[in-house]
Amino acid sequence: MPFFVRAYRFDTWEELVRHFSLLQFVTLVRGPSSPSRISSWWGPLAIWAATLLPISAIAGPTLFTDRMVFDGAVGSQIVDDYSTSTYGWTTGNYVTLSDTDMSAAFGQTTYKVTVPAVQRPFSSNFVGATYLYDTDGAYCAGCNGSFQLGFLTTSISTSNGVFAVGLDIDYSLTNPTYHAFVTFGDGSILDYLLPTVFARDPTLFWGITSDLGIMSIHFGDDGGAPTQQGSLIIDNLTIASSAQVPEPTTFALLGLGIAGIGFTGRKKALSSH
């Protein structure tokens, strides 16, 4: 949830720390009169140090090929199994949906078919028993084209996206071999080659976590390029939050800082009388 400090808007304490120098931060916390005694700095200084700890702990992306290991590394999850109750397809069949309708059905992911319409016979998202590779529901973009999934509007996302994304790969053809082109919360990008499978393998899983947040993933050709070739069918799309909690040291420093600010304010109030 965003908060405001002296007309500045911040989404996290980390953003505040990055925006202001230590002296500016102390001034913001204690008021415009700059403290001349070191003892009056220790409250703001402790909060400053506590907010720096999680910044230094940011790790690079981690890939997963086992759903059980992925489940153990994340916090709360939201799973879209592309069921008939959500999307309205009938047994042995599938439905076609526009990007808008597809995104609204489950309401946790933004879908965009990325193949230019002039290059494809299909302009919709397919959900259901896609080519019988998954009779209990799956997803593909025309089943012969690229697509992008966005994670900025989920119920567990921040302004940087979600912490984790995972999915089962039901079918993945070569020519081309599909890639996952990931855009992270800081704007950086990485490209990952996906495994190929010509018959449904219920154990084939691909997942990724990142402390930077995951804003979107494009599934298509190398480097995020769209394609009408090959095919990629996915199921059980999972988004998840982080399982990590602030370390005890962080809580201790925050508590020390807040107590220090309160003590300094009380001391000032007593001295004024």
- What's the pLDDT at 6? 52
Q: How much of the chain, in percent, has pLDDT values that exceed 70?
A: 62
Ranges assigned E (strand) in 204-257: 205-220, 232-242
Over the chain, what is the mean pLDDT? 77
What global pTM score does this model have? Answer: 0.70
Q: Give the integer Cα–Cα distance in Å for 208 and 201.
A: 19
Its CATH class, for the domain covering 65-242, is mainly beta
Tokens 């489940």 sit at which residue?
A: 71
> Collapsing DSSP states into helix, strand and coil, what is residue 177?
coil
- Mean pLDDT calculated for residue range 67-80: 96
- Mean pLDDT calculated for residue range 149-153: 97
- Mean pLDDT calculated for residue range 47-72: 74
Q: Please state the domain extents for the chain.
A: 3-56+246-272, 65-242
Neighbour-count burial of 74, counting CB atoms closer than 10 A to its CB (0-12 exposed, 13-18 middle, 19+ buried): buried
* pLDDT tens track for 188-204: 999 999 998 877 777 89
- Mean pLDDT calculated for residue range 99-127: 84
- What's the pLDDT at 228? 84
- Mean pLDDT calculated for residue range 76-94: 90
